[in-house]
Structure 1
């Protein structure tokens, strides 16, 4: 089926005002922060160490995430999110008025106070920002919405950084900066007034005001979620650890290793930000409009690969008589490898971060969602502080060069994500399914919305190849428990995926009565828990492409646990690589076009094997 692009959300009132509000907030954060840093370094007569004050600025902005994220998570659940956003954006106007006065009257303390307050504003906004999306968007829109938010955030950060440089280059910069930051804050507040109602998820929540105990309690809540959610929080924070190291080293790297001027710094930041925007937007198409955590290992692989390429090609650019500008570098073939590596890092960073955010949102209970996101923000801030400490230790004490630091980060990325994927093998399983359905097969879906979003159901499908379960599991948004012949279940490599997915091996009653009886016990337990179970009633792979007789085992399942039955059919899989058709050549078996189609649910009292076989046959049609 054709679906509207994620950009269609930008026409919806339930998304556009929020998108504009959060993008303007990210833009203003960086516009003010970067203007303050440039003022300290180049404009203000302070008589002290400017670099020390720059580090103080970084601390003042990040500190509120430790202090107030736990409180922000509670606010995000107790109060209506739309009203909370408007209150936070109104506070931004007052904060920016203080910052503007600091610039106009050359008062550093007022600028630093405003910076701390803006950090507080961002800490309060974060949990609301991500917890409102599942309320405003449908499930199939969640990945696309997150992709747009990440795109908007990183492009806003880039625009704010560049805008600050442009404004600070003006001779009489103070009125320009003061007017801009207040004007953007006012625009953000006006945009927030159009955000539709988003009701409180837990209005009865009792607020806990003890910052330290509640921060610890919030962290524990986040990390005590299901392994998939808790490790997604760790993976999300790891991304910010890696990103913070790369972003903080870009100015020095551009000067020392690319022999460039300030325009080269802007070029690198632009490539990195645009790369993340591209990767974030591509997530919806690559994930098939569902939360596809199989993209996370793909993104992790790219982060390592392009990090290693960046390290490998560093030092290729010879020093010039004068510093290169960005146009000069674009004319050098050796610079292109570095620039492509930076762009690749951004693209695969988008593949990595967007599914993690979407998974945290979709699998966290609504009454805890804002606090879990607050825990994520606390851990993000902690990882960013640790990244600064690690950078200092490696560059100052271990005497590593910046490219060697990038090498260490790339190798650490392998270790950290291996840990995450080992604890939660679902990531690796979904990656293998995603890879299969995007490499050897071109999979299309029809009428899968007939599969219920909640509640138990029995799915029945024709059995054409050894990877039927993988193709179906990759197409349906809900987890499915498959029943399959135990010898297929034990196939090397595929067995890892089947075990991780909770697949149920079954044997013939006369072949292995123990496996046979255990299979029906597990099927009944899964259905009783409200899960989807998929069986292949033929009991074996087709050897001629036709649909064989349906066995009576499905009736035994329904007698014990009466649930709706949904017929499905795989079209075009006969003759593919993993089918048993010997007639087709190797090339024809690759890139097979496969369609999975679902039919309307049958009430349990209407089900009989012959009727069900007839329904599946009609769904499959002539396309074997």
Structure 2
């Protein structure tokens, strides 16, 4: 598997551990402070705890809004490993001050240091995501992002867990927290020393120190490319929602669930672990490509599990007067398991949502301004998180709305985002759902898919063995395939609407319906002119004996008017399945094979002048071999 190997490569491993240790230390510091303020120092503070928690979140995020524009310039102008090392030294300096502040219980200074850590993280953000495309190959980028996402959220998980534990252990001696964060900052500095060189994107860049004008400039860079800007908006919404979740957990644990720090730590842990697991799952399903079909599914998952979280929290037994805060075992015994599962699956959905979007922003941003585009992303992310903190203050502190209803409202925003994502990524969503269905029915292996061009028009042809051939082929290809299929099948009531959404072209023989044939060829031509892939089964019907039937001349007719490359493909291992015509009709025999192994193989593209029906049949037969 590509991901684990990357962790041991010098061009990725040291950077991975540097950013993971940074995320870990951020969260040890922040959540140890938040839990200490909530459970130990609450009586010493004049502010309402709801307002204080959201104020702390806002202080950490505000620097991303203020300084990301400058950070993007620094990452584009200077060699990136040098920038990384200096930022890690800044983290160490901040943690040394935190050690003194914890020792003397200077809560105001510690809140100011939350802002300082936000500055350090804002400086690190652009170089972090701009460096990856320089060290990773194109087919490694999604996997690298998945592991960075996984590492970040596992670091959040561990940092959150340790932060909560430290708050409990060090309730009488908070200097222990300071000593811990200094130690982790030192480890981060050591890891950064091994990050390999990454050349500056634009060494001649003149730094604009005006925060306002530079922020406008980087936002302009992001807006200039529609797909990148839409991805940035979607990522910012994710951080709006995720920040809202993480910020409210300590007080949600105490005031709604009536539980102690152990429960709060568990909930934060499960949510963070879920996001990391979702990122890894995204890397596995993506197979080195950007799989945008996961985005609407991720948003929908966040909506569904937020709604269920609301229903479970609203029905959770209230704490009786005089009763001590509930332990973890008491929380689980009172029905907390389902609530914990909701948070975990909401996190998994978030991981599926976020990784493809980060990969899209990196891949489609020009290298000379990539860090500044990432800076624009951080500006909007920070704005979203500041707005989330303000929303928390308004909804919870001013309007007095309950925390369960707060989560319900966030679920409504996820539902809106899911609807918009379906509209904008309909084809990738359908293709991804087909991939999941087809790869659930079979253990599918792919070979030669790099022969399918990333862009531009082409015809794709393959042998026709079973009624699930189209599912397997559509699931294998990362680009949408516009299938030419038999009109009788296309018009079946149970399939027609879906096939229309998938953009299939119904076709019948000239003897039956000459007009339909002419319309079909016209649609094929229009589709190719749009730069899309058109798929044809040249045999025209399912094989009855497992062998290739004679390829018809339809492909040659199309190429005569629209000369495009032709990619031969072969399906292997489907003959004898329940969906094939072995021993008579499909579907009528007793299934004998379950989750059996099949292969989808693609060969090199043929130029239009050499793609005759006979030549294509030879190519497909060679790709299929003896395995029917």
CA distance in 2 between partners of 1:424 and 1:357 (Å): 16
TM-score, length-scaled by structure 2: 0.85
Judged with a 3 Å threshold, the aligned counterparts in structure 2 of structure 1 residues 468 and 69 are, in CA distance, closer, same or farther, namely: farther
Q: SS where residue 443 of structure 1 aligns?
A: strand
- Is the 2:54–2:247 Cα contact (8 Å) retained in structure 1? no
Q: SS where residue 496 of structure 2 aligns?
A: coil
Instruction: Report the CA distance between 1:281 and its aligned residue.
Output: 1.9
Judged with a 3 Å threshold, the aligned counterparts in structure 2 of structure 1 residues 313 and 183 are, in CA distance, closer, same or farther, namely: closer
Where does residue 328 of structure 2 map in the other structure?
326
Where does residue 266 of structure 1 map in the other structure?
265
Gaps in structure 1 of 5+ consecutive residues: none
Instruction: Report the CA distance between 1:14 and its aligned residue.
Output: 1.6
Q: Does residue 192 in structure 1 map to residue 192 in structure 2?
A: yes
CA distance in 2 between partners of 1:303 and 1:338 (Å): 14
Mapping of 1:146-545 within 5 angstroms? 146-168=145-167, 169-170=169-170, 173=173, 175-227=175-227, 229-314=228-313, 315-317=315-317, 319=319, 321-330=323-332, 332=333, 334-396=335-397, 399-451=400-452, 458-464=459-465, 468-477=469-478, 479=479, 482=482, 484-485=484-485, 487=487, 492-499=496-503, 510-511=514-515, 515=519, 518-519=522-523, 521-522=525-526, 525=529, 533-536=533-536, 538=538, 540-542=540-542, 544=544
Work out the number of aligned pairs and report it. 611
Kindly provide the CA deviation profile for residues 73-119 of structure 1, in whole angstroms up to 9, marking residues without a partner as x: 23333333222212222222233334334445665665455432321
CA distance in 1 between partners of 2:84 and 2:54 (Å): 29
Q: Please, which of 602, 613, 617 is the counterpart of residue 617 of structure 2?
A: 613
Where does residue 99 of structure 2 map in the other structure?
100
Where does residue 583 of structure 1 map in the other structure?
586
Judged with a 3 Å threshold, the aligned counterparts in structure 2 of structure 1 residues 279 and 421 are, in CA distance, closer, same or farther, namely: same
CA distance in 1 between partners of 2:119 and 2:263 (Å): 32
Instruction: Report the CA distance between 1:266 and its aligned residue.
Output: 1.3
Instruction: Report the CA distance between 1:340 and its aligned residue.
Output: 1.7
- Is the 1:15–1:136 Cα contact (8 Å) retained in structure 2? yes
Instruction: Report the CA distance between 1:605 and its aligned residue.
Output: 6.0
- Is the 2:298–2:350 Cα contact (8 Å) retained in structure 1? yes
Instruction: Report the CA distance between 1:326 and its aligned residue.
Output: 0.9
CA distance in 2 between partners of 1:230 and 1:575 (Å): 48
- Is the 1:88–1:125 Cα contact (8 Å) retained in structure 2? yes
Q: SS where residue 493 of structure 1 aligns?
A: helix
Instruction: Report the CA distance between 1:362 and its aligned residue.
Output: 2.9
When structure 1 is superposed on structure 2, of 75-84 and 548-557 the one drifting more is 548-557
- Is the 1:469–1:482 Cα contact (8 Å) retained in structure 2? no
Kindly provide the CA deviation profile for residues 485-540 of structure 1, in whole angstroms up to 9, marking residues without a partner as x: 584778633345434xxx777787854576366456546645xxxx6744426173
CA distance in 2 between partners of 1:467 and 1:365 (Å): 40
CA distance in 1 between partners of 2:275 and 2:589 (Å): 37
Where does residue 7 of structure 2 map in the other structure?
10
- Is the 1:283–1:351 Cα contact (8 Å) retained in structure 2? yes
Q: Does residue 88 in structure 1 map to residue 91 in structure 2?
A: no
Judged with a 3 Å threshold, the aligned counterparts in structure 2 of structure 1 residues 594 and 23 are, in CA distance, closer, same or farther, namely: same
Gaps in structure 2 of 5+ consecutive residues: none
- Is the 2:55–2:389 Cα contact (8 Å) retained in structure 1? no
Judged with a 3 Å threshold, the aligned counterparts in structure 2 of structure 1 residues 365 and 235 are, in CA distance, closer, same or farther, namely: same
Instruction: Report the CA distance between 1:546 and its aligned residue.
Output: 4.4
Instruction: Report the CA distance between 1:616 and its aligned residue.
Output: 0.3
Kindly provide the CA deviation profile for residues 244-300 of structure 1, in whole angstroms up to 9, marking residues without a partner as x: 222222222222332212221112112222222222222223334432222223222
Kindly provide the CA deviation profile for residues 560-611 of structure 1, in whole angstroms up to 9, marking residues without a partner as x: 7766543211234467787787333387498675421122444666543212
CA distance in 1 between partners of 2:226 and 2:597 (Å): 36
CA distance in 1 between partners of 2:554 and 2:286 (Å): 34
Where does residue 602 of structure 2 map in the other structure?
598
The CA RMSD over aligned residues, in Å, is: 3.6
- Is the 1:575–1:583 Cα contact (8 Å) retained in structure 2? no
Where does residue 26 of structure 2 map in the other structure?
29
CA distance in 2 between partners of 1:44 and 1:306 (Å): 31
CA distance in 1 between partners of 2:136 and 2:521 (Å): 43
Q: Please, which of 44, 47, 50 is the counterpart of residue 49 of structure 1?
A: 47
CA distance in 1 between partners of 2:327 and 2:43 (Å): 29
CA distance in 1 between partners of 2:417 and 2:226 (Å): 19
Kindly provide the CA deviation profile for residues 124-176 of structure 1, in whole angstroms up to 9, marking residues without a partner as x: 21122122223322334333322222222222223333333444533774653
Q: SS where residue 401 of structure 2 aligns?
A: coil
- Is the 1:317–1:335 Cα contact (8 Å) retained in structure 2? no
- Is the 2:100–2:178 Cα contact (8 Å) retained in structure 1? yes
CA distance in 2 between partners of 1:342 and 1:264 (Å): 13
Judged with a 3 Å threshold, the aligned counterparts in structure 2 of structure 1 residues 427 and 516 are, in CA distance, closer, same or farther, namely: closer
- Is the 2:232–2:377 Cα contact (8 Å) retained in structure 1? yes
- Is the 2:457–2:528 Cα contact (8 Å) retained in structure 1? no
Q: SS where residue 209 of structure 1 aligns?
A: coil
CA distance in 2 between partners of 1:47 and 1:432 (Å): 52
Judged with a 3 Å threshold, the aligned counterparts in structure 2 of structure 1 residues 415 and 537 are, in CA distance, closer, same or farther, namely: closer
CA distance in 2 between partners of 1:10 and 1:409 (Å): 35
CA distance in 1 between partners of 2:467 and 2:200 (Å): 47
When structure 1 is superposed on structure 2, of 91-100 and 298-307 the one drifting more is 91-100
Instruction: Report the CA distance between 1:26 and its aligned residue.
Output: 0.9
CA distance in 2 between partners of 1:574 and 1:317 (Å): 58
Q: SS where residue 566 of structure 1 aligns?
A: strand
- Is the 2:486–2:506 Cα contact (8 Å) retained in structure 1? yes
Instruction: Report the CA distance between 1:204 and its aligned residue.
Output: 4.5
CA distance in 2 between partners of 1:565 and 1:53 (Å): 63
Instruction: Report the CA distance between 1:417 and its aligned residue.
Output: 1.8
TM-score, length-scaled by structure 1: 0.85
- Is the 1:450–1:598 Cα contact (8 Å) retained in structure 2? yes
Kindly provide the CA deviation profile for residues 20-44 of structure 1, in whole angstroms up to 9, marking residues without a partner as x: 1001111222223334445666469
